[in-house]
Chains A and B, each alone.
Chain A
Amino acid sequence: MRLLTHNMLSSNIKGVTNGFPLQLEVEKMVVKEVAFNGDFLKNIFPKIEWKALLDAAVAMGCGDLPENAEATMLDNEEFLRKFHHALLQLHLEEGALICPETGRRFPVSKGIPNMLLHEDEV
């Protein structure tokens, strides 16, 4: 699971109002090389919750991202490389995503987050 996916996921449990961002529990992470594409990064940037990405990257052991980011920084190659690395190259292989409101654990296994709910959560 890339951190881009983490940035798009929120707790889907019935009644939860503050389900984003999910906290990362990292058992195993891997870095997978992904072809760099600046246009993709520029397109996706406005959709990214920066703080969630920053915290997730730190949880994955990557402290390279700046505290804050704004669109003007997208002209900076060095920034783009860091953004690329955090968003697309860091993969959570094994671990979990934790609902910030209820503490419910959504397991991540073989890189696949499992958001299926129990009957009483739907």
Chain B
Amino acid sequence: MTKEHDEANNALVCSGNSSRCAQIRLVASDPEVYEPCDDSFALVDALLAERANLVEFKPNLCMEIGCGSGYVITSLAIMLASQGRTGVHYMATDLNEVAAQVTCKTLEAHGVHAEIVCTDIASGLDRRLVGMVDVMVVNPPYVPTPEEEVGCHGIAASWAGGEHGRRVIDRILLVVQHLLSIRGWFYLVTLTANNPLEICLMMREKGYESRIIVQRSTEEESLHVLKFWRSKDSPPQRESNTANASSDSSYFTLPRWAFWRGR
């Protein structure tokens, strides 16, 4: 593609409200694939709230585990491209073959690209991709269910999370620690039943700090989008800027821990 082409494409993406994320009418679907829902929107809202940070962060490699319809990875690619961030490589995995195909269609319909691999979490990528992922996004199967529903084929794998909804999340956490680059950022959707406080504490033991980017309650569930990054002594980049981008973001500090239990 020539430079002119590129700019024309960017202009196209930038015009109108559609510039910020994937358009629902262009998201491909299939009865076997998870449709964008409140959790998907919460995750994309979190990424939008972080957009200025992400643009400045200049990620080389962004990855999603469990891409489903492709709504999230497509939105991330559009978001960064519309801000002139080119030369970013996107990857996504899903256990569900149909989801992998649907994600390709969604990406194509929006004129962006990601490499898709059909696999369990990041199996097959975990050796060579160690320490390479700058931005990882995950909306995992988090619903508490009987163990036998976890990881089955088709749509049930989209939500089935086993005990406390943590069966897949806990495996993902281990893989993500392995794949994340030293400066890497990790965004994770959780449900209150998943015990996000405990997740943050577990990650802290591994040297990661965390904060809540988005917090949202519906009648059925209370969702949090958490962000993790490897702790340095100094706070992460441009904290002050995220505050105005997202009014509901809050630091994850000690006194706030009490609030998890209240829900």
Contacts and interface: CB of A to CB of B under 8 A. Distances in A.
Indicate whether A and B interact. yes
Interface of A: 1-2, 4-5, 7-12, 19-20, 33-35, 37, 39-40, 43-44, 47, 49, 106, 110-117
Contacts of A115: 117-120, 123-125
A43 B86 CA distance: 13
Q: Identify the interface centre among B115, B120, B124: most chain A CB within 10 Å of its CB.
A: B124
Given A2-B115, A47-B132, A114-B97, A8 B60 contact: no
A1 B115 contact: yes
Q: Considering the complex of A and B, which 9 residue pairs feature the smallest CB-CB distances, nearest first?
A: A37-B87, A40-B87, A115-B124, A115-B119, A12-B124, A114-B118, A8-B128, A12-B123, A5-B115
A114 B101 CA distance: 11
Contact of A113 (B60, B87, B117, B127): B117
Given A1-B115, A40-B89, A114-B97, A9 B128 contact: yes
The DSSP consensus for interface residues of chain B is: loop
B89 A9 contact: no
B37 interface: no
B118 to A, nearest CB: 4
Interface string B88-99: 110100010100
B116 interface: yes
Contacts of A106: 124
A11 B97 CA distance: 18
A5 B120 contact: no
Contacts of B87: 35, 37, 39-40
B32 to A, nearest CB: 15
Given A12-B124, A115-B123, A115-B124, A44 B118 contact: no
Contacts of B125: 8-9, 115
B174 interface: no
B128 A7 contact: yes
A117 B123 CA distance: 9
Given A37-B87, A43-B60, A116-B118, A110 B101 contact: yes
B94 to A, nearest CB: 10
A10 B117 contact: no
A112 B124 contact: no
B167 to A, nearest CB: 15
Contacts of B1: 33-35
B129 A113 contact: no
A43 B87 CA distance: 10
Contacts of B101: 110, 112
A47 to B, nearest CB: 6
Contact of B60 (A12, A44, A116): A44
B128 A4 contact: no
A92 to B, nearest CB: 11
Nearest to A36: B1
B86 A35 contact: yes
A11 B86 contact: no
B149 interface: no
A117 B220 CA distance: 35
B13 interface: no
A111 B118 CA distance: 11
Interface string B143-170: 0000000000000000000000000000
Interface in B198-243: none
